[in-house]
Amino acid sequence: MLINKLALNNFRNFSKKHFEFGKGVNVIVGPNAIGKTNILESIYLLSTGKSFKARLEEEMIDYNSDIARIVGEVGHRLVEHSGLERSKKQKEAEELQKTKLETILTRGEIQIGEDPENIQKAPRKKMLVNGLPKRLIDFSGILKVALFGPWDLDLVTESPSIRRKFLDSVLSQVDREYRRASLSYEKGLRQRNRLLWRIREEGLSRSQLLFWNQLLIKNGDYISRKRAEFIDFVNESPDFLDQDFSLEYDSSAISEGRLMQYKDEEVAAATTLVGPHRDDFIFKLKNAKNANAKNGDRDLSKYGSRGEQRMGVLWVKLAELNYIEKSTGERPVLLLDDIFSELDHEHRAVVSELAKAQQTIITTADEHYVKGIKSGNEIIMLG
């Protein structure tokens, strides 16, 4: 998987900017606040249809404009062990296969021409593939990426919703059915919670819930199964720098029985109390010095040092790359946002090695951190 070109128009601080990326390691160097993270955000937007940091999508539009446009050209190449026998010719054809991805953002209305009075309604977000409009479910996942930034430490230490979001971001990229199931589940959940509220407030009959129960069980089951599959995959990933990490899936299953069990509480709370929207997982680190001790596995969020937590996240991110590759036959583009300054020498070397295994785009304020990655770096200077 490659991103060859990127063009930004009125995206964040870039009024008009064009980038070309090499197939290997690309390093974007520039001082703080020059827009390095914004570039990765725009690539992530082309991949997932979403931002990893904006609360409202219109935050991504240049303050001085009412429309932003992001265009990327991506190239495909299946990985060697994807199970398909391919001739040299086929491989060349794959490399030539290019897809144009485009996202257009507005604040809901745009000015037509010079007249500030001439305002028209416009969709807030449009996504196109090779010029054809697509729904989010068909747009996302074409460009595969794995993103790693300093905020990812939150994955270990912060609230469950951040971990669920992470699971969704990985699985949505590789599985259209997962995207469909998630959308359907979220919608169903809102409807069901509204009904629970009406049951409590208006004495509506519980039989109204039956349809939504079925819908949530069917989709929730699929979501839980896929999440379990990914977590198993991560757990089978090799140890990392002699540290033995694991993930423990704390799954909130949804079934007729479980819904029955909480039927009074959920009406009282007017909210659905079981299901994958309540999932979590925990990072564990095997206590190497005391491997035979009872409860030898430590909860990384409580007992891990910052360094260990960072390595735990890196271990999961590495597994994410491999999982996307295994599930789609394409190695994702690795996006590393300003992580080198936080790593010590040994870990920097690990990440530098990892960066060479696929197309990688690294941002840094300090070029000397990436000196270790010597092989044909593309350097993009900003500012």
Ligand X SMILES: Nc1ncnc2c1ncn2[C@@H]1O[C@H](COP(=O)(O)OP(=O)(O)O)[C@@H](O)[C@H]1O
Considering the complex, what minimum distance in angstroms separates the CB of residue 33 from Mg ion? 8
169's contact among Mg ion, ligand X, none, with CB below 5 to 8 A by partner kind, is none
Considering the complex, what minimum distance in angstroms separates the CB of residue 137 from ligand X? 27
Which residues 84-103 are close enough to bind ligand X by CB under 6 A?
A: none
63's contact among Mg ion, ligand X, none, with CB below 5 to 8 A by partner kind, is ligand X
Q: Determine the interface stretch with ligand X among 31-39, 103-111, 154-162, 217-225 (rule: CB under 6 A).
A: 31-39
Count of residues in the chain: 383
Q: Does 33 bind ligand X (CB under 6 A)?
A: yes
Site string for ligand X, 242-271 (x = CB under 6 A): ------------------------------
Closer to ligand X at the Cβ: 13 or 161?
13
Considering the complex, what minimum distance in angstroms separates the CB of residue 39 from Mg ion? 9
Buried/exposed 280-296: b ≥16 CB within 10 Å, e otherwise: bbbbbbeeeeeeeeeee
13's contact among ligand X, Mg ion, none, with CB below 5 to 8 A by partner kind, is ligand X
Considering the complex, what minimum distance in angstroms separates the CB of residue 185 from Mg ion? 33
Considering the complex, what minimum distance in angstroms separates the CB of residue 61 from ligand X? 6
Q: Does 12 bind ligand X (CB under 6 A)?
A: yes
* Side-chain-facing half-sphere of 316: CA atoms under 13 Å: 28
Spatial distance between the Cα atoms of 309 and 155, rounded to a whole number of angstroms: 9
Residue 11, SS3?
A: strand
Q: Determine the interface stretch with ligand X among 61-69, 112-120, 180-188, 289-297 (rule: CB under 6 A).
A: 61-69
Q: Determine the interface stretch with ligand X among 56-64, 218-226, 310-318, 319-327 (rule: CB under 6 A).
A: 56-64
Spatial distance between the Cα atoms of 82 and 178, rounded to a whole number of angstroms: 21
Closer to ligand X at the Cβ: 39 or 217?
39
Which of 38, 106, 213, 224 touches ligand X by CB under 6 A?
Answer: 38
End-to-end CA distance of the chain: 29
Which residues 200-239 are close enough to bind Mg ion by CB under 5 A?
A: none
Q: Does 34 bind ligand X (CB under 6 A)?
A: yes
**CA distances (Å), origin 305, targets 113, 155, 299, 308, 316:** 57, 14, 11, 5, 17
Write the single-letter amino acid at 286: K
Annotated ligand binding at 34? The verdict is: yes
Q: Does 67 bind ligand X (CB under 6 A)?
A: no
Which of 37, 173, 213, 358 touches Mg ion by CB under 5 A?
Answer: 37
The pair of three-digit structure tokens given for residue 86, joined into one six-digit string: 């391919």
Question: What one-character-per-residue DSSP string does 239-307 give?
Answer: PBTTB-EEEEEE-----HHHHHHTHHHHHHHTS--SSGGG-EEEEEEE-GGGTTSTT-EEEHHHH--HH
Nearest by Cα to 178 from 228, 114, 121, 112: 228
Write the single-letter amino acid at 54: A
Q: Determine the interface stretch with Mg ion among 34-42, 150-158, 190-198, 375-383 (rule: CB under 5 A).
A: 34-42
Write the single-letter amino acid at 294: K
CB 38 within 8 A of CB 335: no
35's contact among Mg ion, ligand X, none, with CB below 5 to 8 A by partner kind, is ligand X
Under rule CB under 6 A, how many of the chain's residues touch ligand X? 14
Q: What angle in degrees, to the nearest 10, is found between the helix axes of 210-236 and 160-174?
A: 90
Nearest by Cα to 138 from 101, 104, 169: 101
Binding-site members for ATP are 30-37
Binding-site members are 30-37
Footprint on this chain of ligand X (rule: CB under 6 A): 12-13, 30, 32-38, 59, 61-63
Footprint on this chain of Mg ion (rule: CB under 5 A): 36-37
